[in-house]
Amino acid sequence: MVVIFFTLITFTFTFYMTFYLKKNAKNINPEKNRFDEFVNKDIGYPWSMSSKRREAFNKELKKRKG
């Protein structure tokens, strides 16, 4: 009985979502990837191996301190 219940829920959800997504495809916008946001905002760290990243970190730190 439980298996039949979950099977019905699964089929209902599967077919409902198909029609819902087709109907609202124009309104669905992809979200920006959180990792890409982090990379775009990343300024480096004081322990970075690359001297460019350490310099960028120090420059940003000075800029933020005023």
Residue extents of the structural domains in the chain: 34-66
Using alpha carbons only, what angle is made at residue 24 by residues 22 and 26, rounded to the nearest 5 degrees? 100
Tens-digit pLDDT profile for residues 5-59: 999 999 888 988 888 888 888 888 878 888 888 777 777 777 778 888 888 888 8
- Whole-angstrom distance, CA of residue 3 vs CA of residue 6: 5
Does the predicted TM-score (pTM) go above 0.85?
no
Alpha helices (runs of H) in the chain, residue ranges in sequence order: 2-23, 34-41, 51-65
Burial classification of residue 62, based on how many CB atoms lie within 10 Å of its CB (0-12 exposed, 13-18 middle, 19 or more buried): exposed
What is the DSSP code (8-state) at residue 30?
P
